[in-house]
Homo-oligomer: A and B are copies of this chain.
Amino acid sequence: MTKEKKPVNVNSVGVVKTEYFSFNELLLENGERFGPITLAYETYGILNKEKSNAILILHALSGDAHAAGIHENENITGWWDAFIGPGKAFDTDKYFVICSNILGGCKGSTGPASINPKTKKPYALDFPLISINDIVNAQKRLVDHLGIVKLLSVVGGSMGGHQVLAWLVNYSDSIRSAVPIATTIKHSPQQIAFNEVGRQSIMADVHWKSGNYYDGTVPSKGLAVARMIGHITYMSDKSMAEKFGRDKKEAGEPFKFTADFEVEGYLRYRGDNFVKRFDANSYLYITKAMDNFDASKGKPFQEALRGVKAKVLVIAFKSDWLYPAYQSKEIVKACKLAGIETTYCEVDSAYGHDAFLLEVEEESHLIRHFLKKVYYAYEVTGNYGE
């Protein structure tokens, strides 16, 4: 438990510290045995005596373990701080919240930038081609390590939602509920295509050198372009129009292909910022894991869900064209066919895919209410209908 009693504001979990959990080996989906593995993680709130109030938060492509609060001597709040804290959707006065950086990531967990103990050099492309199921299997080890037999909920948006669905299929006995947000059972060709172009952009960078760039210049231009493509897909036509219009920046350097429009400056800024904090090889591995993921494992999804008893809340956003609402409805339909108690809400937001980070009020309301219902069922009955 990393929470300390230094609240930065009334609703913050305060100053938090990232912790690390290591284990020797994981049998990967491709049959390979891989290890050792370290997962960076943070927790907020207090685990109750019955260990019945733990919620696992699952992050998206560029996320990390730092979901809430601030780090000592830093000013950056966690990526879902608006949702996690005293009185917030994930009420830390009530729940014990865990968030870990995924296997394959570059924020403290073992990934392609980590040192390969056999060669004493970064893995680079010797890192195995991991899957979303591998990522979830590693998380399960962390949850076991924390002594939690049954999670109150697993919650995540976008690629976090892929992980939620993998938990639902692979570990349904270990969760009481699941909240997949703005996600899909499997990527469509359009979603694969956007990821593929990002990968191509990284691999086209002369500094990528088949992934062996760790002792020299990193492929920052290729990664920046990949991130810019991502940012376009995270916003909606409407939200971009509202945010930028066709406003021009003040005249910059006298170059023909200067960022004239505000939107160009914004994309360049976001791209340049991203390369400071993200590893290009992690981007390749994680996007490939997303594209290869199929929660239904080739069957109709309802068959993969057979016997699942967890309650499910599915949230989608109207203007999200990267993970369109029809994909969330496919999840809902399969859950209902599998006899799962499922709630669906399509939030009327203009923010596009980013809405899952930005629609604080409505999303919080939905999550708070859902968690209360699930938790209350446990508190009153002492079990969960099992």
Chain A residues with a Cβ under 8 A of chain B = 125, 129, 186-190, 192-194, 196-197, 199-201, 203-206, 221-222, 224-225, 228-229, 231-232, 235, 237, 240-241, 243-246, 256-257, 259-264, 267-268, 271, 284-285, 288, 291-292, 294, 321, 324
Taking a contact as CB atoms under 8 Å apart, the answer to whether B203 and A204 are in contact is no
Bound Cα distance A160, B210 (Å): 40
A261 proximity list for chain B (CB < 8 A): 189, 192, 196, 291
Taking a contact as CB atoms under 8 Å apart, the answer to whether A188 and B294 are in contact is no
A204 proximity list for chain B (CB < 8 A): 201, 204-205, 221-222, 224-225
Identical copies of this chain, number: 2
A263 proximity list for chain B (CB < 8 A): 189, 192-193, 196
A129 proximity list for chain B (CB < 8 A): 256
Bound Cα distance A321, B262 (Å): 22
Taking a contact as CB atoms under 8 Å apart, the answer to whether A267 and B197 are in contact is yes
Taking a contact as CB atoms under 8 Å apart, the answer to whether B225 and A288 are in contact is no
Given contacts A201-B225, A205-B204, A246-B294, contact A259 B188 (CB under 8 A): no
Q: A188-B246, A189-B245 are in contact. List 18 more A-B contacts (CB 8 A).
A: A193-B240, A196-B264, A197-B228, A197-B232, A197-B267, A200-B224, A200-B225, A200-B228, A200-B271, A203-B257, A204-B204, A204-B224, A205-B206, A246-B294, A256-B285, A256-B288, A257-B284, A321-B321
Taking a contact as CB atoms under 8 Å apart, the answer to whether A232 and B193 are in contact is yes
A271 proximity list for chain B (CB < 8 A): 200
A199 proximity list for chain B (CB < 8 A): 257
Bound Cα distance A208, B149 (Å): 56
Taking a contact as CB atoms under 8 Å apart, the answer to whether A244 and B189 are in contact is yes
A267 proximity list for chain B (CB < 8 A): 193, 196-197, 200
Across the interface, name the chain B residue whose C-beta is closest to A284.
Answer: B257
Given contacts A225-B197, A267-B197, A284-B257, contact A240 B190 (CB under 8 A): yes
Measured CB to CB, the closest approach of chain B to A232, in angstroms, equals 5
Tell me which of A197, A267, A288 has the highest count of chain B C-beta atoms within 10 A of its own C-beta.
A197
Measured CB to CB, the closest approach of chain B to A351, in angstroms, equals 14
A241 proximity list for chain B (CB < 8 A): 188-190
Taking a contact as CB atoms under 8 Å apart, the answer to whether B246 and A186 are in contact is yes
